Amino acid sequence: MSGNRHEPPRRRDTAALVIAAGLVVVGAVMLWDSARLADLGGYSGIGPASVPRVVGFALIGLAAWTAIEALRGDFPQRPPQNALPILWIIAGLALQLMLLHAAGFSIATGILFAFTARAFGKRNLAMTIPIGIVFAFVVWAIFSQLLMLHLPAGPLEHLVFPRG
């Protein structure tokens, strides 16, 4: 997904070659893992390693096919993409993941909310983070108190619902 996307068609497609390489890796991992399984085929003659092996070989075959299409430039043109909004969303998800247990659901998810809004054009984080935290807190209260879902509680949640 990187590199120059305004190439004329019918040229070597590097990104697609990277995909082909990735498929080879996944296929190879499947073959490597299935090799260490004891093959308890029993009556059927096929054991736990058989299906992963077939899928592994199939993925390597598909990788070869992908590489051929990539070299011939048969992959469809990709729409131009902006990297920045995508990174904002990924950063939001990563922060939520890291903060979830320390800061609780509302704060962690509020940050995700604000970062996503920023990716779509609401740039003022000073406004969107508080909105996100309040919204996430309302959602937390409904789902954890009424629907009995286990959602991690942090300082904010303990403040309002001392028994969490």
Partner 1 sequence: MSAFEFLMQGLGTAADPMMLLYALIGVTLGTAVGVLPGIGPALTVALLLPVTYRLDPAGSLIMFAGIYYGGMYGGSTTSILLNTPGESASIITALEGNKMARKGRGGPALATAAIGSFIAGLIATLLLAFLAPSIVKLALVFGPREYFALMVLAFVTVSAAFGDSALRGLTSLFLGLALACVGIDQLTGQARLSFGMPELLDGIEVTTMAVAMFALGEALYIAGQRVQVDDEVTAVKGSVWMSRRDWARSWKPWLRGTAIGFPIGAMPAGGAEIGTFLSYATEKKLTKHPEEFGNGAIEGVAGPEAANNASAAGTLVPLLTLGLPTSATAAIMLAGFQQFGLQPGPLLFATNPTLVWGLIASLLIANAMLLVLNLPLIGLWVKLLTVPKPWLYAGILLFATLGTIGANPSAFELGMLLAFGVLGYVMRLFGYPIAPIVVGLILGPMAEQQLRRALSISQGDWTTLVQSPIAAVLLGIAALALIVPLILRARGKGEMLSQLAGEED
Residues 135-164 contacting partner 1, CB under 8 A: 135-136, 139, 143, 147-152
What character string, x for contact with partner 1 (CB under 8 A) and - otherwise, covers 95-134? -xxx-xx---x---x--xxx-xxxxxxx-----x---x--
**All residues at 6 or more sequence positions from 102 whose CB lies less than 8 Å from its CB, including other chains:** 154
Taking the complex as a whole, how short is the minimal distance between the CB of residue 67 and partner 1, in angstroms?
A: 11
Taking the complex as a whole, how short is the minimal distance between the CB of residue 162 and partner 1, in angstroms?
A: 20
67 binds partner 1 (CB under 8 A): no
| Of 71 and 89, CB closest to partner 1 | 89
43 binds partner 1 (CB under 8 A): yes
75 binds partner 1 (CB under 8 A): yes
Nearest residue to 110 via CA among 149, 145, 161, 156: 156
DSSP of 129-161: HHHHHHHHHHHHIIIIIIS-------HHHHHHS
- Mark residue 42 as left, alpha or beta (left: phi above 0; alpha: psi -120 to 50; beta: remaining): left
- Please work out the total of residues on this chain that contact partner 1, with binding judged by CB under 8 A: 77
Give yes or no for a contact between 106 and 154, defined as CB atoms under 8 angstroms apart.
yes
